[in-house]
Structure 1
Amino acid sequence: MPNFIPLINVRSVYNFQESLIKINDYISFAKKEKFEYLFYCENKTMFGVAEFFKKALEQNIKPIIGLSIELENKKIITLIPKNKIGYEHICLISSQLNDETKLNEEQIFNLLKNNIDSNTFLLTNVNDKDLFFNNAEIINTNENKIFFNTIRYIFDNEKEHYRGLFALKNGLTINEAVESYKINEAYPGADEVLEVFSETEKIGNYISNKVSLDIFGENKKHMAKFVAPDNMPSFSYLKQKCLAGLNHYFKNIKNQAIPTEYIERLNTELDVIEKTGFADYFLIVHDYVSYARKNDIIVGPGRGSAAGSLVSFLLRITTVDPIEYNLLFERFLNPERVTMPDIDIDFQDNRRDEVIEYLFEKYGKYNVATIVTYQTIAFKSAFRDACRIYQIDMELVNLITKSLSDDYLSFNEIIKTQKLIREYSEKEEFKSIFKLVEKLIGCPRQTGTHAAGIIISDVDLRTILPIRQGLNGIYQTQFDMNYLEEIGLIKMDLLGLRNLTTIKEILDLIKINHKKDLSLSKIDLNDGKTFEILRQGNTTGIFQLESQGMTNLIIDMKVNSINDIAAASSLYRPGPQEMIPEYINSKNNRKVKLVDRSLAKILLPTYGVIVYQEQVMQILQYVGNFSLGKADIVRRAMGKKQIDYMMEVKDEFIFNAIKNNYSQKKAAAIWNWIEQFAKYGFNKSHAIAYSYIGYWLAWFKAHYPAEFYTALLNGVMGNPSKTSKYIKEVKQFGIEVIKPSVKPISNKIEKTLIKSTYTSSENRIYMPLTLIKGIGRDFISTLNNVVDEHEDLFDDLNNFFFYMKNKGLNESNYTFLAKAGSFDCFGYNKSTMVANKDFIFSAMIAFNENISLEKQTKIENLFEEQLNEELESNYEKEVFGFYISANPLTKLKNENAYFKPTDINKLVENMNNVNIIGQVSGIRVIKDKNQNSMAFITVFDDTESIDLTVFASNFENLQYDLVANRNYVLKIKTQKYKNKITGILENIVKPI
């Protein structure tokens, strides 16, 4: 007799913060106890069902899944499907329970009556049998004495941990949790087992014997069907569209006859698509991409391996000619290793939802769904939660977690590698906390939505898997993406890309300002001015090229083509970075070393260095006579280090190479060389496609800088650091930046002219009022309404303040508007408008709205104040959070050049004894583990800000010299923390 029994109502961590039982732990426990079958039933949801089912099967344990419904007064109904029909029923019931409408008990009973039958077991502790019918096999657990407790942890020693979880769920301390809840929901002890084992085993075996279900076993694809015109077969329509696209491309764009190479490539691709049955997939993607283009939604040029498909190009799913760039179809769809196609599409991020809505309307609400994700608890979050439950001072918690360099290491790795955390884990008062933390790490806290994935099914999704209400009325799968393909569902990725939104905004501005309707496809890809900007390192705002390291590489490479941009983005990654010096040297000096001369055609475009996965495939094909399909399989095996397979294929490669007149030594050398680089190679299809986006942005920057920076600035509203950087750069292009004004941009009184975003006109960029502290869209809307009603609003300040009385203008936002210069249009400077606030508001109060403006007492004879540069700068910093006209820190750097200060934005890790000049914007003092005072300070200069740590040994001497809002020359050393450059303050060189 086993020590434990497989009980029915085992809750897992997928009932968030209601259980400590992780599926891996549950199955390991069952394996150890030699269970032949195992039950799994969440409350109302089925989030973990697919994971449980698959992992139980892998351990040769029969998975018995179900759905529990916990009602009031501890009443529980558990449904267990006997077969596929029963499974479909509980999927539908769970979907209904997780719809937008919350069902009461009577509605739940009606739902069960209408959806359960003899294909389902119904286990319950509800005594009223009259509630159920339709021949469902009912087992009342009270009568049969089956143990029906809800199980939330497995072992007795986890009781205290569950108390902690209960406290976390209910916002209690650990002591309050102990008082308020009796913990008894665990596997029964030995005595209880003996009491109920006989009946439980009998019923458990009975259920197990009657259940015959494999949720993954159908092996049927549920891809939606594309309805072609006149009900033409999908493949015939696909072929027709491709041929039309091919003819259009060469007749209207290339102006030449169709090369044989294109016809052969198209026939090859169509043959694979026909055999694999993916015609509908291509047509559906083509359809929603076409919808986006027709509705003026910017679509990316391509993403991932799909850019290697000529069919995708001819359907305008992608806009990169794969033959022109030597991209391979087999990297996308491999006829020798058939997997589901994966065409990822980028859309401008502010209109992606429109495309999803189109799919929802076209295919039906129960046929389209987003994909659930689970946000799991990482160490820092778990530690903070546990400390809060045990009432640990949060300042100490912040100190302990500050040292954490990587939050997503495993618990044991963190304890092993993080010295301070390890020290606290060994303290007696923290032992319970760390035990709870270990239990919490990896548990899902809540659901999220996959950033891109969409499912489109040919049948009601509720017959395949449970769904739930998602955002905007669109349903969401309850299974995550890892299990969808196995039940026949294809994930389509529709991604939102901010850079495409920026491009759309630039195009719209060019159309307004220059009366030009530009097309991205017509932009010259060999524009000298564009590449000159890149070679100068002027990469701010350029997709993928903006980081300092990438900028340096672009300069060193002397980029002059799309291919160069693609190579740079492919090389600037961990691993291939080590090849950058060789690549640059070979490119710039025109001295290329080849592993073998016969590979010149493949390797010369990248100067003898393997940069792309496609090159690995081509070498395997050329030297070893492998088909490109097999070459892709070998490439994957090399990347994953599948040693046994590689050894087998290596012999075949060398044998074939010898037949191709290579010596055995040379063949082995080539194999070893490509094996070394296969794991580093990047997907060329993706690199080329994404290089277009970077190039387009660079082209706009070169030719339409005002529109480029306007769109760029709109993308960073709320980010003072980037805004300040972009505004500083704008001036280098000779573009004037106009501060926010309450007056419309032109003299045409139009409501739309006072905007809440940046606008540009005649080589000027106009800042919006929303940048000013305390000014929101509601105020702008009110102001626009007043503008619309009163044409004479800006004749003088009397008109403005008379009409704005009781219209949202108050003393607080008046001050911010005045300091921002938004009243400069009335002929007075900022200081004058600030100084006369009380006088103006007194006059506003005196305004009588019942008599005409001409008869009011005038606001005149203002006391005029002088405005100096320093005051102007202070005003800007106060109301915008950054400087516009003149940054006093720039002046301070120039005056203190003797100290050789480094700009904060040019700091890199591991710099010692480096001086910076900046202002301390914040100081936070805490106690370290020895209860000594230390501090974290933030310092900014005219380029960026940096967080500095002042350790206790140093803070004791410096604490009275460090003052917020004061400027200093500081000596620091730098480090990297969470991919951000931070520092340690070594000394105050000089207050200034």
Structure 2
Amino acid sequence: MSNFIPLVNIRSVYNFQESLIKIDDYISFAKKEKLEYLFYCENKTMFGVAEFFKKASSQNIKPIIGLSIELENKKIITLIPKNKKSYQDVCFISSEMNNDFILSELQILELLQSKLDQNMIVITNLTEEHQIYFNTAEIYNTNSVNFFFNNIRYISNNEQEHYKGVFALKNGLNITQANEAYKIDESYPLAEDILEIYPETLKISNEISEKVNLNIFDSEEKHMAKFTAPDNIPSFSYLKQKCLNGLKHYFINVKRQPVSQKYYERLNKELEIIEQTGFADYFLIVHDYVAYARRNDIIVGPGRGSAAGSLVSFLLRITTVDPIEYNLLFERFLNPERVTMPDIDIDFQDNRRDEVIEYLFEKYGKYNVATIVTYQTIAFKSAFRDACRVYEIDLEIVNLITKSLNEDYLDFTDILKTQRLIKEYSEKEEFKAIFSLTNKLMGCPRQTGTHAAGIIISDVDLRKVLPIRQGLNGIYQTQFDMNYLEDIGLIKMDLLGLRNLTTLKEIIDLVKINHNKEIKLSQIDVNDQKTFDILKQGNTTGIFQLESPGMTNLIIDMKVNSISDISAASSLYRPGPQEMIPEYINNKNTKRVSLVDKSLADILLPTYGVIVYQEQVIQILQKVAGFSLAKSDIVRRAMGKKQIAYMLQVKEEFIANAIINNYSEDKATSIWNWIEKFAMYGFNKSHAIAYSYIGYWLAWFKAHYPAEFYTALLNGAMGNPNKTSKYIKEVKQFGIEVIKPSVKYMNDNYIILNNRIFMPLTLIKGIGRDFVNSLIKIYDEHEDLFEELNTFFYYMKNKGLNESNYTLLAKAGGFDCFGYNKLTMVLNRDFIFSAMIAFNENLSLDKQTKIENLFVEEMNEEIESMYEKEVFGFYISANPITKLKNENAYFKPIDILKLVGNMNNINIIGQVSSIKIIKDKNKKDMAFITVFDETDTIDLTIFASNFETMQYDILTNKNYIFNIKTQTYKNKITGILEKIVKPI
């Protein structure tokens, strides 16, 4: 017999901050102790049930799941389902207990009474008078059989101190207080200890195990919602009908020619696979909510992922990219030889995505639609801060350690290997308990979140399939995360919010307002030379996927002139394929292409002899070896995942087939080796082409409607001073004037009037929408509000204008409309407020003492710059760095925006915005600083050898000429500070 007995009363880390037991540790413990079965029961929730069930089963341990309900005064009811029917009842009960209202004890008992029967085991310490609520359920009363019933919250005794730390966190205590308050041993007890006190425990545990016959993953049933077609036409018939109608419409109204036989053949092939796999409803459901979005003027993306390779998706207007025109493959999306659930991800403008989800909620029912839970796992920084809070460690030390990390860690071992400072602290005696607790906390879920895109739509009440809980906006959420949904027959549909689509929608609306033109994305000319000209010039700011410095340089070097060029650029500019960029550019620009074999010209010439896409690998496998496209996709996947055994087997078949197809063995071998090298780097062409349209559309609007384009960009950049500064500087290059905020315009967003962009009042630090709304309300009551200075301040008395926001408005130019400059308005603040206090509200405006004879002071550029930096966080009209560059042209400073990797001994002129000092591996101070000029920002590293001599010379908010060398890290240009040329 094992030293331990499986016990019912387990709590896991999914009861947040109430346990230290992670499921992996629990199962490892059971495996080590050779336990044949395990119990798992959270309190009220079932978050970890699916994970536990799958992992226990994989280790040949019988999982016995349930639900505990802890009432007041240590009363507990634990439900153990014997079979699928009672499992559904437990899911229902947990769902009801995780609604947005709290059930009383009586309501809980009545809920149980409505659901429990002989299929359920109930373990409880409630008295016999309550047993009427359990109906015919099989009851084990712990009071009468002395069944062991302490909750277990950690596995071994030596974890009690760790649990005290968790207990302290949960209850807002320090470790001393926790030691005083927590006296219970809740570790997993030894079998001999249990049997000595409670001799019936093993017998009852075995008895319960024998009665449970449940596998929550054993059903092959798919719970996909059914689409109701008009007149109850069968789903597939309706799908086919819509596709044929869509095909005819496409050729008659877009291509303006008879339908091509090639399209009929492709459509028939796709429909045949869809019918075989039974996914007609899936396509129709997606089509329906995409159509809803389009009907309601919600921008939908052109396509995402491999779904853009489907002609059916295109004809249903789920996607808007013709897959035949771009040689995209359906098998990359839905493979008949490797049937998996379809995965059509759709992008919507992010500010209206919720409307589409609401539509689904209303159409399919509140218990048939759910978002998907996620669990926010505790990483090092958060765990360390929590542990330090419990042990009351000085915040300066906490900040020193956490700020020494450029990224967070999920694995404690990795930290000790790479972070010298943390390793040193972890070895100090006074910190050992803290780091020990930190290690225990890492990896535990802290709280729930919501999957950014996933939605479940079921044909049955979800509570019959899994437990759910109340989510946001009245929409339910699964208690199981996405990793286990497909295993219980649920299909995840991804509805993503994309900010760039919102930007496009705003631009389209602005063009309609300002130019009275209705622009449809589908009708934009994809061969517009003006658009490609701005891209070739590197004017990529604000263009989706193209605006990073490295990507911009690639766009320039490639001389992009088509959607396909944009697609290739975004596909190549990734780790791995980047090494092929020089060859690609050289081949494209010289038109000299060397092919691995001439027979592959049709496949490789469009990308100048370089494999850029996964689809090309699939096509080569088909061309040379005669594999079906479906099999070719399976081989490509195996290459990408380095499935050696399968690849060796297929390689022989490939070469044998190639020889039959008139390739020599050497040639076939060289082709195989060549494509094998590229298979793991190739990108999904369907996705690349579809997303290239988004970038192209934005570039088209930038070329043709720059004022509207930049207004939308600026509205999207609210709260980001770096982007805002950059956009404002650029928009002026288009001859568009940017007007500073004014109380007269009362706008809380950027607006356009007569080709001028007006900045919002809310861009001023400290001015919020409440003040703007107050202005609007007063203007509605007094249309003469802005006639002159006296009128404004008379009406604004006691209406939200105070000395603090007055100063901000004055410095920002908010009062310039009254004919006085910023400095004058700032210096006369006290005088104006004295006059406001003197206003007699019982007298009309014309009888008031006027505010006049203001003390007038001249403005200069230096004051203007200082005010702008203070109230906006950036410079607008008078950037002193531009002036400094002109004055110090001798040093040949380079704009930060124009920096690329591997530049040595170059000068930049900029202002230091932040300094972060850390210890290096030798315990010496080094620093990271952020520097900006009027074009961009850059992060610079100062190594200890330099920092020792210059640390007192570098200050924030000061300007310098720096000598640096640049490097590229994670596609971002960073630098190393070599020396201070001079402060300026």
Q: TM-score, normalised by structure 2?
A: 0.97
AA paired with 1:464?
Answer: V
CA distance in 1, matches of 2:429, 2:654: 61
SS at match of 2:170: helix
* 8 A contact 2:5–2:191 mirrored in 1: no
Q: Which residue of 1 aligns with 2:806?
A: 814
Tell me how far 1:399 sits from its aligned partner.
2.7
Deviations 1:132-159 (A, max 9, x none): 3320111012222221111111112212
Residues 410/827 of structure 1: CA separation in 2 closer, same or farther (3 Å cut)? same
Residues 853/98 of structure 1: CA separation in 2 closer, same or farther (3 Å cut)? same
Q: Which residue of 2 aligns with 1:829?
A: 821
* 8 A contact 2:195–2:202 mirrored in 1: no
Residues 266/893 of structure 1: CA separation in 2 closer, same or farther (3 Å cut)? same
Residues 806/325 of structure 1: CA separation in 2 closer, same or farther (3 Å cut)? same
Q: Which residue of 1 aligns with 2:676?
A: 675
Q: Which residue of 2 aligns with 1:152?
A: 153
CA distance in 2, matches of 1:486, 1:541: 41
Q: Which residue of 2 aligns with 1:420?
A: 421
Q: Which residue of 1 aligns with 2:124?
A: 124
CA distance in 2, matches of 1:326, 1:980: 33
Farther off after superposition, 840-849 or 39-48: 840-849
Asked if 1:165 corresponds to 2:166, the answer is: yes
* 8 A contact 1:117–1:133 mirrored in 2: yes
* 8 A contact 1:405–1:978 mirrored in 2: no
Residues 307/233 of structure 1: CA separation in 2 closer, same or farther (3 Å cut)? same
Residues 974/595 of structure 1: CA separation in 2 closer, same or farther (3 Å cut)? closer
* 8 A contact 1:380–1:401 mirrored in 2: yes
Asked if 1:44 corresponds to 2:36, the answer is: no
* 8 A contact 2:404–2:918 mirrored in 1: no
Farther off after superposition, 395-404 or 202-211: 395-404
Tell me how far 1:398 sits from its aligned partner.
2.8
**Where does 1:32-181 land on structure 2 (aligned, <5 Å)?**
32-131=32-131, 132-181=133-182
Asked if 1:942 corresponds to 2:943, the answer is: no
SS at match of 2:424: helix
Q: Which residue of 1 aligns with 2:614?
A: 613
Deviations 1:222-281 (A, max 9, x none): 011111111111111111111111111011111100000000111111111111111111
Farther off after superposition, 248-257 or 961-970: 961-970
Q: Which residue of 2 aligns with 1:773?
A: 765
Farther off after superposition, 62-71 or 939-948: 939-948
Tell me how far 1:945 sits from its aligned partner.
4.0
Residues 780/77 of structure 1: CA separation in 2 closer, same or farther (3 Å cut)? same
CA distance in 2, matches of 1:603, 1:927: 52
**Where does 1:949-960 land on structure 2 (aligned, <5 Å)?**
957-958=949-950, 960=952
AA paired with 1:232?
Answer: I
SS at match of 1:331: coil
Deviations 1:315-349 (A, max 9, x none): 10000000000000111111111111100000000
Gaps of 5+ in 1: 745-753
AA paired with 1:396?
Answer: I
* 8 A contact 2:410–2:443 mirrored in 1: no
AA paired with 2:875?
Answer: Y
Tell me how far 1:442 sits from its aligned partner.
1.2
Farther off after superposition, 509-518 or 271-280: 271-280
Q: Which residue of 1 aligns with 2:838?
A: 846
SS at match of 1:329: coil
Residues 964/404 of structure 1: CA separation in 2 closer, same or farther (3 Å cut)? closer
Farther off after superposition, 12-21 or 345-354: 12-21
Asked if 1:11 corresponds to 2:3, the answer is: no
Tell me how far 1:785 sits from its aligned partner.
1.6
Farther off after superposition, 223-232 or 974-983: 974-983
Q: Which residue of 2 aligns with 1:645?
A: 646
Asked if 1:228 corresponds to 2:220, the answer is: no
CA distance in 2, matches of 1:664, 1:960: 69
CA distance in 2, matches of 1:808, 1:889: 36
AA paired with 1:140?
Answer: N
CA distance in 2, matches of 1:551, 1:755: 34
* 8 A contact 2:175–2:391 mirrored in 1: yes
CA distance in 2, matches of 1:943, 1:597: 48
Farther off after superposition, 969-978 or 19-28: 969-978
Q: Which residue of 2 aligns with 1:872?
A: 864
AA paired with 1:758?
Answer: Y
AA paired with 1:795?
Answer: E
* 8 A contact 2:549–2:900 mirrored in 1: no
Farther off after superposition, 806-815 or 604-613: 806-815
**Where does 1:786-825 land on structure 2 (aligned, <5 Å)?**
786-825=778-817
Residues 396/487 of structure 1: CA separation in 2 closer, same or farther (3 Å cut)? same
Residues 939/588 of structure 1: CA separation in 2 closer, same or farther (3 Å cut)? closer
Residues 389/954 of structure 1: CA separation in 2 closer, same or farther (3 Å cut)? farther
Farther off after superposition, 842-851 or 87-96: 842-851
* 8 A contact 1:349–1:497 mirrored in 2: yes
SS at match of 2:864: helix
AA paired with 2:117?
Answer: D
AA paired with 1:781?
Answer: N
Aligned with residue 882 of structure 2, among 885, 890, 903 = 890
Tell me how far 1:190 sits from its aligned partner.
5.7
Asked if 1:27 corresponds to 2:27, the answer is: yes
CA distance in 2, matches of 1:554, 1:181: 64
Tell me how far 1:672 sits from its aligned partner.
1.2
Tell me how far 1:545 sits from its aligned partner.
0.3
* 8 A contact 1:921–1:938 mirrored in 2: yes
* 8 A contact 1:396–1:929 mirrored in 2: no
Asked if 1:285 corresponds to 2:277, the answer is: no
Tell me how far 1:932 sits from its aligned partner.
8.1
Farther off after superposition, 126-135 or 574-583: 126-135
SS at match of 1:990: strand
CA distance in 2, matches of 1:110, 1:690: 54
Residues 662/954 of structure 1: CA separation in 2 closer, same or farther (3 Å cut)? closer
Deviations 1:806-862 (A, max 9, x none): 221112111111111121111221122222222222222222222222222222222
CA distance in 2, matches of 1:426, 1:727: 52
Farther off after superposition, 754-763 or 960-969: 960-969
CA distance in 2, matches of 1:440, 1:453: 28
SS at match of 1:541: coil
* 8 A contact 2:915–2:928 mirrored in 1: yes
Farther off after superposition, 801-810 or 25-34: 801-810
CA distance in 2, matches of 1:465, 1:506: 43
CA distance in 2, matches of 1:809, 1:400: 44
Tell me how far 1:426 sits from its aligned partner.
2.7
Q: Which residue of 1 aligns with 2:961?
A: 969
Gaps of 5+ in 2: none
AA paired with 1:778?
Answer: D
* 8 A contact 2:572–2:580 mirrored in 1: yes
* 8 A contact 1:40–1:65 mirrored in 2: yes
Q: Which residue of 2 aligns with 1:749?
A: none
CA distance in 2, matches of 1:206, 1:251: 72
Residues 925/273 of structure 1: CA separation in 2 closer, same or farther (3 Å cut)? closer
CA distance in 1, matches of 2:321, 2:416: 49
AA paired with 1:844?
Answer: M
Residues 20/613 of structure 1: CA separation in 2 closer, same or farther (3 Å cut)? same
CA distance in 2, matches of 1:677, 1:919: 44
Farther off after superposition, 900-909 or 792-801: 900-909
Q: Percent same amino acid at aligned positions?
A: 78
Farther off after superposition, 787-796 or 312-321: 787-796
Tell me how far 1:172 sits from its aligned partner.
2.4
